[in-house]
Structure 1
Amino acid sequence: MLALCPEGDKTIHFRLFVTHTVIFESVALLSKIMTTSKYFTKNTSSSTKNSEEQTVDNRIIRYLESLEPPLTIELPKNVEWLYPLKSAKTRQTMSEFFHNYYSDSNKRILIIGINCGRFGAGITGVPFTDPIRLKTVCNIDNHYPQKAELSSIFVYQFFDAYGGVEKFCQQFFIGQMCPL
């Protein structure tokens, strides 16, 4: 996972590795970044759009729903795109998560992971969130197979160390470099 936070002409880069010690060190680093950096955001404000359309949740959902796999790329035999948002159920789950945690217009620091895991965002549409944590931590009922995704376990341990998913989402947005 790579976090990018512009600070003047410098960009702060760091990697989170799967160890408990690093989780706590990373929480401290993120707190420091938060208090010393400008937020990494894309300014999409427009005078023609109403404020509800400009909330973070709606901007994220609109962006993710605009993505489609590039069908012109020929994939090897027995390989296919992991495209979770083709499912209406996944789009609904993803929307519920973002409406619950990002329904404001506050700026956030962007954290980028690589891609969706097949038992996490590949099913739920929510970055680094498997069906188990979606139900038990985020209180979003779902009927997906209740399988754990290793990256989800790690990220939610990180959220807990930071003060919980709600506190984390108030200050950060975690996404994927390639959400397909």
Structure 2
Amino acid sequence: MPTGVALRDVREHLFAAAERILIRDGAAALTSRAVTTEAGVAKGVLHRHFADFDGFLADLIRDRIAGLSVRAAALRESAGTGTVVENLAGTLTAVFNSVAVSLISLMIFRDDLRARLRAEYPAGVPLLVDVVAMVADYLSLERAAGRLEPDADAQMLAHTLIGSSHLLFAGHRDTPPAGSDVSRMIAAVITPALR
């Protein structure tokens, strides 16, 4: 392992290495040794910045959840423009084409990681809970703009869309689903609520 190499943002460098492993090899392959090897740093680097490996993973998930705020703002701004299906398809494809599906698998795979995140997320799966909230907020804006029926349940529609998206993308690890499949799924859920 190289030593004496200055890293500008050690946390992000290690997080990016962990994501590459998750996407390429899956949750079972993610170890502290694998992360530091992938990052090209000594193993001690990870432990200088994080109390332990589950602490590192919890911070990775928190960081990626915080990153959703940019996507949430863009989705909010799209309310009233384009079509609801197109707006959702772009957002859900971006979210689920990212490392999100792998992070969800990781949380399911590691009991200690789930336990650490349980204090912040007493119910539901971290990341998925945040994406549901983002989509429900957007759908509420579309309902207020008159593009969804007044009685459309934004929260239940969001739950249905996120669950369906997760299942659709989780089944395509190497090749993401076609955009037409994503749009078709969204339309099947949303069309009854559209005005």
TM > 0.5 fold call = no
Larger Rg: 2
Say which structure is richer in strand.
1
Please indicate the TM-score interval, normalised by the length of the shorter structure.
under 0.3
Using CA pairs under 8 Å that are at least 6 residues apart, name the structure with larger relative contact order, 1 or 2. 1
* TM-score, structure 1 normalization: 0.27
TM-score (norm 2): 0.25
